Structure 1
Amino acid sequence: MAGLVRRRARSFDIWPGFVDVLSTLLIITMFALMVFVLSQFFLAHALSGRDAALEQLTRRLKQMTEVLAMERKDNDDLRLSLSQLSGELKDANTRVDSLSARLREADAATFENQQLRDRLAGVAKLEQDVAALKALRDELEAEIRKQGATLSEREGQLAEERKLSDEARAHAALLNAQMEELRKQLASLQEALEASEARSQEQEVQIADLGQRLNAALAEKVQELQRYRSEFFGRLRALLGNRDDVRIVGDRFVFQSEVLFPSGSNVLQPAGQDTLTRLAQTLMQIARTIPPDIDWILRVDGHTDRRPINTSQFQSNWDLSAARAISVVNFLISQGVPPQRLAAAGFGEYQPIDPGTDEAALARNRRIELKLDQR
């Protein structure tokens, strides 16, 4: 009986320990659940931060793509300018070669004409000598016939023949002297030819040196214009400050059309006139320092977006872009910029800098570009 009581007492002692184990498991489960909830919260927060960073990187990549497109266009324009300069240099070299060829032809023609005149004079002199010899031969034959006619006159005829023979020897000696004189003339002509060839070589060296100087001068003018272009855009950058609607990209100054014109119009707004007035003042300051031998121009290019236009004033984007460029040119002329230093061009929608179709891309494509270039 006492053993049964002890066994029951021991069986009832197990329950509190079991309750403690269950409580501990419950606490551990709640802690694990709380850790899981917190980890899910922090993970969601980290993912949202990464999405924001990814979106920012995407925007920066798009901006860099725009800048890259502008730089590529600038490189294409620079290659075009270099190809034009190369063509001008090639034309100059062609003109120099043509002048050299004409000079050589003139020297050769002068030499050949002189040689021909000398030869003709020698031939005429020889013909005169031959005619004299023929006449002498006829006289000798006549005298011989006379000798056969009468013996009494033989001595006189022999004396006459000796006389004629002496004259013939004298003519022969004269002909030899003339031949020697011709040889001397030929030697003199040869020396003149060698001297002419030497002068021709010197002229070719001078022409080659002239071509090198011309190349160096052209390169110097390009570098000098580049320096004034950098100074011009540097002053404009400092004058206008950091603006989203006015940018300097490479060697071009880019206005968004909304800065200068209302939508679908070529009439300058007051704010655009103020901006162009400051630009004209800066251009005139730079122009006074540019040497007169640099033939520079400020090119004004008008661009539109791809949306078509058809009004009573503008039948196409070509008309609108050209009219806007001309309006800018006319305003700069009114501010004192010389007309011969300005050029206007309209490109319509065919030179976009952003291939997108959203409103932001269309706004970037509506622009006025200014470029300081060499004519």
Structure 2
Amino acid sequence: MAGTRLRRRDTRTDFWPGFVDAMATLLLVIIFLLSIFMLAQFFLSQQLSGRDTVLNRLNAQISELTELLALERAGKRDLQDTIAALQANLGDATAERDRLQGLLSSSTDTASQAGGQIALLEGQLDDQKQISDRALAQVELLNQQISALRRQIGALEAALEASEKRDQDSQAKIADLGKRLNVALAQRVQELSRYRSDFFGRLREILSQRSDIRVVGDRFVFQSEVLFPSGSDEINPQGELEMTKLADAIKELSGQIPPEINWVLRVDGHTDNRPLSGTGRFRSNWDLSAARAISVVRFLIDQGVDPKRLVAAGFGEFQPLDEGDTDEALARNRRIELKLTER
């Protein structure tokens, strides 16, 4: 038995590089997934910013066309004022012609002079008519240009509405995708919670309802005295017996959880806040807590538990269950916690 334990201690030191490699691989996978998520967010933001650019360009074109329309309308008003003035002049010329014709009929002596004046006024009247015709043609051209501008504005407004609708559809799709993702994550959490409940129930059965082994929240807690001598990370015979039962329960659970649930059993080591003596192999409570968690993980691996399903962590004295300084409070804080969680 002593030879077996000696060999086991010798081989435990060989697992540490493998454990570091596993943690590094896990970190790389997490970084890869975060990178994919950030790329997806980047492409979505680029697509939305592109749409914003198109909308800004369309709004700028609408503003320019609106200004052109205002200028054309002002020009139309000026031409209309000119036409009104010409029409007024035309009315005056017609009145003068009628007056001169009256003078012609009343006085033969001034007939030749009146005829000359009439001819002159008729020439002026023809000139005014030509100017009026040109002004009317310009007004018609302006009306056509205004109609064309209105059609362009209508087309731009339709394009703007279509772009806004596409943007709303994209936002709706993103919101729907988020909802479906939340539902899927909630289902995974519910499934893992159900298996955690079954696992803890099984542990309660096989560990005989011991008072020094209990459930606290979502964790299964072993008092350190059950597994380790004081200040040591070597599992005692009674602890090996309990850990063997735990390993059997984990292997049974592994066959029940669906493969798509990426679960791990996290082994957390905790100590009390009493400082260690300087003569031991551990420099701090943190080192001791981490070494104890690793010892539990190595023992479970020796019992056939898949190393991919195990994680070891040390918390030292910094996560106490009881803030008191009595012997009972310190004993409660010295513990090994097991937490079934998703990777």
Please classify the TM superposition score into its range, dividing by the shorter chain length. 0.5 to 0.7
Match for residue 330 of structure 1?
Answer: 298
Q: Which runs of 5+ in 2 are unaligned?
A: 1-36, 65-136
Find the aligned partners of 1:349 and 1:183 in 2 and give their Cα distance.
Answer: 73
The 8 Å contact of residues 305 and 352 in structure 1, kept in 2 or not, is answered as no
Which of 163, 167, 170 aligns to 1:196? It is 163
Structure 2 counterpart SS, 1:211: helix
Which of 124, 138, 153 aligns to 1:186? It is 153
Match for residue 262 of structure 1?
Answer: 229
Match for residue 317 of structure 1?
Answer: 285
Structure 2 counterpart SS, 1:266: coil
Structure 1 counterpart SS, 2:151: helix
Which of 234, 241, 245 aligns to 1:274? It is 241
Residue 351 of structure 1 and its aligned partner are, at CA, apart by 0.9
The 8 Å contact of residues 235 and 282 in structure 1, kept in 2 or not, is answered as yes
The 8 Å contact of residues 297 and 310 in structure 2, kept in 1 or not, is answered as no
Which of 48, 53, 57 aligns to 1:109? It is 53
Find the aligned partners of 1:186 and 1:350 in 2 and give their Cα distance.
Answer: 67
Q: Which runs of 5+ in 1 are unaligned?
A: 1-91, 121-169
Find the aligned partners of 1:237 and 1:316 in 2 and give their Cα distance.
Answer: 33
TM-score (structure 1 length as normaliser): 0.52
Q: 1:283 to 1:190 in 2, by over 3 A?
A: same
Find the aligned partners of 1:243 and 1:317 in 2 and give their Cα distance.
Answer: 26
Matched, 1:347 2:316: yes
> Where in structure 2 are the equivalents of 1:100-179 lying within 5 Å?
102-110=46-54
Find the aligned partners of 1:349 and 1:191 in 2 and give their Cα distance.
Answer: 64
Residue 194 of structure 1 and its aligned partner are, at CA, apart by 1.0
Matched, 1:371 2:339: yes
Look up the equivalent residue of 2:186 and give its one-letter code.
Answer: A
Which of 229, 251, 254 aligns to 1:284? It is 251
Structure 1 counterpart SS, 2:337: strand
Match for residue 230 of structure 1?
Answer: 197
Look up the equivalent residue of 2:316 and give its one-letter code.
Answer: F
Structure 1 counterpart SS, 2:289: helix
Structure 2 counterpart SS, 1:233: helix
Q: 1:296 to 1:183 in 2, by over 3 A?
A: same
Find the aligned partners of 1:252 and 1:172 in 2 and give their Cα distance.
Answer: 87
Find the aligned partners of 2:318 and 2:175 in 1 and give their Cα distance.
Answer: 47
Structure 2 counterpart SS, 1:268: coil
Pairwise CA RMSD of aligned residues? 4.2
Find the aligned partners of 1:101 and 1:283 in 2 and give their Cα distance.
Answer: 44
Residue 350 of structure 1 and its aligned partner are, at CA, apart by 5.3
The 8 Å contact of residues 290 and 312 in structure 2, kept in 1 or not, is answered as no
Look up the equivalent residue of 1:110 and give its one-letter code.
Answer: V
Structure 2 counterpart SS, 1:105: helix
Find the aligned partners of 1:250 and 1:350 in 2 and give their Cα distance.
Answer: 14
Structure 1 counterpart SS, 2:287: helix
Structure 1 counterpart SS, 2:165: helix
Q: 1:183 to 1:267 in 2, by over 3 A?
A: same
Look up the equivalent residue of 2:294 and give its one-letter code.
Answer: I
Look up the equivalent residue of 1:226 and give its one-letter code.
Answer: S
Which of 248, 251, 261 aligns to 2:218? It is 251
Q: 1:249 to 1:115 in 2, by over 3 A?
A: closer
The 8 Å contact of residues 293 and 336 in structure 2, kept in 1 or not, is answered as yes
Find the aligned partners of 1:175 and 1:354 in 2 and give their Cα distance.
Answer: 88
TM-score (structure 2 length as normaliser): 0.56
The 8 Å contact of residues 303 and 348 in structure 1, kept in 2 or not, is answered as yes
Match for residue 239 of structure 1?
Answer: 206
Which of 165, 172, 194 aligns to 1:205? It is 172
Look up the equivalent residue of 2:195 and give its one-letter code.
Answer: Y
Residue 181 of structure 1 and its aligned partner are, at CA, apart by 4.7
Structure 1 counterpart SS, 2:235: coil
Match for residue 131 of structure 1?
Answer: none
Look up the equivalent residue of 1:373 and give its one-letter code.
Answer: T
Residue 252 of structure 1 and its aligned partner are, at CA, apart by 1.7
Residue 231 of structure 1 and its aligned partner are, at CA, apart by 0.7
1:144-179 per-residue CA deviation (whole Å, 9 max, x = no partner) reads xxxxxxxxxxxxxxxxxxxxxxxxxx9999998777
Find the aligned partners of 1:342 and 1:303 in 2 and give their Cα distance.
Answer: 15
Match for residue 219 of structure 1?
Answer: 186
The 8 Å contact of residues 301 and 347 in structure 1, kept in 2 or not, is answered as no
Find the aligned partners of 1:100 and 1:314 in 2 and give their Cα distance.
Answer: 51
Q: Which has the larger radius of gyration?
A: 1
Structure 1 counterpart SS, 2:201: helix
Look up the equivalent residue of 1:246 and give its one-letter code.
Answer: I
Alignment length (residue pairs): 243
Look up the equivalent residue of 1:106 and give its one-letter code.
Answer: G
